[in-house]
C-alpha cells in the first residue's frame, strides 16, 4: 500500500503543480477531473490500482452509440485504436459506450511526475482527436468511410 500511496501523492503533486482542479477520492486512490477540448468537454478518471500495481487513465465519451449505429461504431473504434501508439478505445457493444483507456505499471518502480504528465497529455490529445469524430459518425454527419479516411 505504501508504494501505491506514494504514486497517488505524486499524481496529486503533478496536478497541483499544473494548477489543475480535480476531485480526490483518497480512500480509493482515485482522481477525477475535466478538461475543455477543442470541441467537446472531456472527463477523466485516474485509478491507482494497488493490487495490480497499475495506473489506469479512463475517459468515457459523453454520449452513447444508438443501436442502429453500433456496428459502424465498432469498426470505427477498431480503426481509431489501430493507429494509436499507446492506449486504446474500449467499446461496450451492448450499451454503446466508448471509453479511452491507458495504463502503466508501477511494480518495482519509482514513478515521477513526468509519467503522469505523459499519461494525461496523451490521453487528452487522443480523446480530443477522436471524440468529435465518433459523435459525427453516430449522428450521421460523416460516414464510416469518411471516418476511416480521416484516420
Query: How many Cβ atoms from other residues are within 10 Å of residue 8's Cβ?
Result: 23
Helices (H), 1-151: 2-18, 70-82, 113-138, 144-150
Q: How does residue 151 score in pLDDT terms, banded at 50, 70 and 90? A: confident
Q: Tens of pLDDT along 19-29?
A: 999 999 999 99
Asked whether the predicted pLDDT for residue 2 surpasses 90, the reply is no
**Whether 50 contacts 150, CB under 8 Å:** no
Average pLDDT over residues 71-94: 96
Domain residues of the chain, as ranges? 2-150
* 56/113 Cα distance (integer angstroms): 15
The values of phi and psi at residue 130, to 5°, are -105, -20
CATH class, 2-150 region: alpha beta
| pLDDT higher than threshold 60 for residue 1 | no
Amino acid at each position: 500500500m505504501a508504494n501505491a500511496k506514494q504514486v497517488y501523492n505524486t499524481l496529486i503533486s503533478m496536478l497541483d503543480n499544473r494548477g489543475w482542479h480535480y476531485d480526490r477520492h483518497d480512500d480509493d486512490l482515485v482522481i477525477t477531473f475535466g478538461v475543455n477540448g477543442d470541441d467537446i468537454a472531456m472527463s477523466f478518471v485516474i485509478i491507482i490500482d494497488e493490487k495490480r500495481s497499475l495506473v489506469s487513465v479512463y475517459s468515457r465519451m459523453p454520449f452513447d452509440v444508438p443501436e442502429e449505429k453500433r456496428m459502424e461504431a465498432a469498426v470505427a473504434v477498431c480503426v481509431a485504436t489501430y493507429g494509436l501508439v499507446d492506449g486504446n478505445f474500449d467499446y461496450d457493444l451492448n450499451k454503446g459506450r466508448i471509453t479511452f483507456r491507458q495504463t502503466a505499471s508501477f511494480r518495482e518502480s519509482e514513478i515521477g511526475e513526468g509519467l503522469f504528465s505523459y499519461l494525461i497529455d496523451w490521453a487528452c490529445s487522443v480523446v480530443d482527436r477522436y471524440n468529435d469524430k465518433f459523435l459525427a459518425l453516430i449522428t450521421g454527419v460523416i460516414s464510416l468511410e469518411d471516418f476511416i479516411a480521416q484516420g
